[in-house]
Amino acid sequence: MIPIRDTIPSKNYPIVTHVIIGINILCFFIQLSYGQNTQKFLYLYGLVPARYTVPELSGYFSFGQQAFSFLSFMFLHGGFLHLLGNMWSLHIFGDNVEDRMGPFRFLMFYLLCGVLSGLTHMFLNLHSNLPTIGASGAISGVMGAYFILHPTSKILTLVPIVIIPFFFEIPAFVFLGIWFLFQFINAAGSHDISGVAWWAHIGGFIFGIIFLKLFQAFPVTGLSGTIKQLTQKKTSPRFQVIHPSGAIDGPHLYGTIYVTPREAYTGTHKVVNIPWGFHNRFFRVTIPAGVTQESLLRLRGQGKATSQGERGDLYLKVIIRADADSSETG
C-alpha cells in the first residue's frame, strides 16, 4: 500500500515539517559526498547498539559522539528510495499533526519520538553491530499521533495488483492499523538480518500516541499563537476529493468544490479526485475569476455512462468560505 494523500487539509503552512524534510535532503547529499567512506560515516553518525554495550567498541567513541548519534541517525538514509518513502510519509501525515500541536511542540515531539524509537531498537538488539539509520521511527510517532487525531480521515492509497494500479480511499485507522500490524509481524519474524529496524517503527508509533497525550496537556504559548496567525493558509486545498451524487436513472452527477473569497475573486486551479468503484479519476478544474457563491461548473462528459454509450456531465457547485475547509478535501 502506497499512501498518496489524506483528506484532512491543514489550516497552516507546516513550516517545521518542511524544514525537517529539507534537513533530511541536505544530510543525504552530505552522506553521498563521502563516497567510498560512506560506511564509516554511517557507523559514526548512525545508531549502532554494540557501540553502547560492547566495551571494546564504546572506548573508541567520546560521550559527545555517543549522545549525538541518537539525534543524527534519524536524518540519514540508506538510499534515495528510502529517503523518498520517509519524506513522502512525513509530508502526508506531518502537516496535520503540526497543525494541532503548533510548530514548537511538534518539533520537540518529532525529535523525542525519534530518540525513543532508537532506544526501543537498541534495547531489543543490544549487540547488533549494524548502523540503524532513517527517519522512520520519528515518522512512525507522527503516524501514531495522526491515528489518534484523525482516525476517520481517508487515505487515498495506491494498491498495485499485479501490474495494474488501483486506488482506494481507506480510513486512516484501517490504513495505519494494517501498517502497524505489518511492522509487528515483521519484527516478530526478524532476527536482525533484514536490515530494517522494525522495532524502531513500533516503538515510535506507540510513543507517538503517548507523547501526543502529554503534549496536548501543555499550554500553547503566545509565540506559537503568533506563528499560527502568520502561517495561516489563505487558499483552499489544491487537491480536493469529491464524492458526487446523481439520480439513479439520470446521466449527470453533482458535487461540491470549495474555494476562498480571494480564489473566487482572482480565479484558481484545483486537482479533483473522484472515487468511483475501484477506480479514481483525476481532473484539473479551472475556477474562473469572479465566480460567485453556488455557481455551477460543468465538466462535459464526466458523468455516468448511458446505455447508449454516451456520458452525462459532472456539475460542481462552488462554495465560497474563508477557511474553505471540508472533510472531503485534502
- CATH number assigned to the domain comprising residue 112: 1.20.1540.10
| Residue 207: CB atoms within 10 Å | 26
Domain assignment present for 123 = yes
Q: In 3-state terms, what secondary structure has residue 135? A: coil
Helical pair 172-189 and 136-149, crossing angle rounded to 10 deg: 140
Does 157 share its domain with 254?
no
User: What pLDDT, on a 0 to 100 scale, did the predictor assign at position 269?
Assistant: 86
Closest CA to 52 of 3, 121, 99, 108: 121
Does 193 share its domain with 100?
yes
Question: Where does a domain end: 183, 207, 230?
Answer: 230
Domain assignment present for 52 = yes
Does 123 share its domain with 141?
yes
Does 199 share its domain with 309?
no
Domain assignment present for 86 = yes
HSE at residue 165, side-chain half, CA atoms within 13 A, is 9
Domain that holds residue 142: 2-230
Does 68 share its domain with 163?
yes
Does 256 share its domain with 180?
no
Does 187 share its domain with 270?
no
> Are 51 and 66 contacting, i.e. CB atoms less than 8 angstroms apart?
yes
| Residue 103: CB atoms within 10 Å | 21
Domain assignment present for 325 = no
| Sequence-separated (6 or more) residues with CB below 8 Å from residue 75 | 23, 24, 27, 135
Domain assignment present for 329 = no
Bridge partners (DSSP) of residue 169 are 156
User: What pLDDT, on a 0 to 100 scale, did the predictor assign at position 48?
Assistant: 92
Does 164 share its domain with 279?
no
Domain assignment present for 330 = no
Does 245 share its domain with 287?
yes
Helices (H) and strands (E) in the chain, counts: 12, 9
- 284: CATH: 2.60.260.20
Strands of the chain, DSSP E: 2-6, 154-161, 164-171, 239-241, 253-259, 268-276, 279-287, 296-299, 314-320
Query: Which amino acid does the sequence have at 303?
Result: G
Does 213 share its domain with 279?
no
User: What pLDDT, on a 0 to 100 scale, did the predictor assign at position 221?
Assistant: 64
Domain assignment present for 327 = no
User: What pLDDT, on a 0 to 100 scale, did the predictor assign at position 83?
Assistant: 95
User: What pLDDT, on a 0 to 100 scale, did the predictor assign at position 265?
Assistant: 86
Does 206 share its domain with 268?
no
What is the number of domains present in the chain? 2
Does 224 share its domain with 126?
yes
Question: Where does a domain end: 206, 230, 254?
Answer: 230
Question: Where does a domain end: 199, 230, 261?
Answer: 230
| Residue 307: CB atoms within 10 Å | 6
Query: In a structure prediction context, what are the per-residue pLDDT tens digits for the chain, which is 330 residues long?
Result: 788 888 887 888 899 999 999 999 999 999 999 988 999 999 999 999 999 998 888 888 899 999 999 999 999 998 999 999 999 999 999 999 998 888 888 999 999 999 999 999 999 888 888 899 999 999 999 999 999 999 989 898 888 777 777 778 889 999 999 999 999 888 877 655 546 788 899 999 999 999 998 887 776 666 666 776 677 776 677 777 788 888 888 888 888 888 888 888 888 888 887 766 555 677 788 889 989 998 999 888 888 877 777 888 889 999 887 765 544 433
Secondary structure (DSSP) of 178-216: HHHHHHHHHHHH--S-SS--HHHHHHHHHHHHHHHHHHH
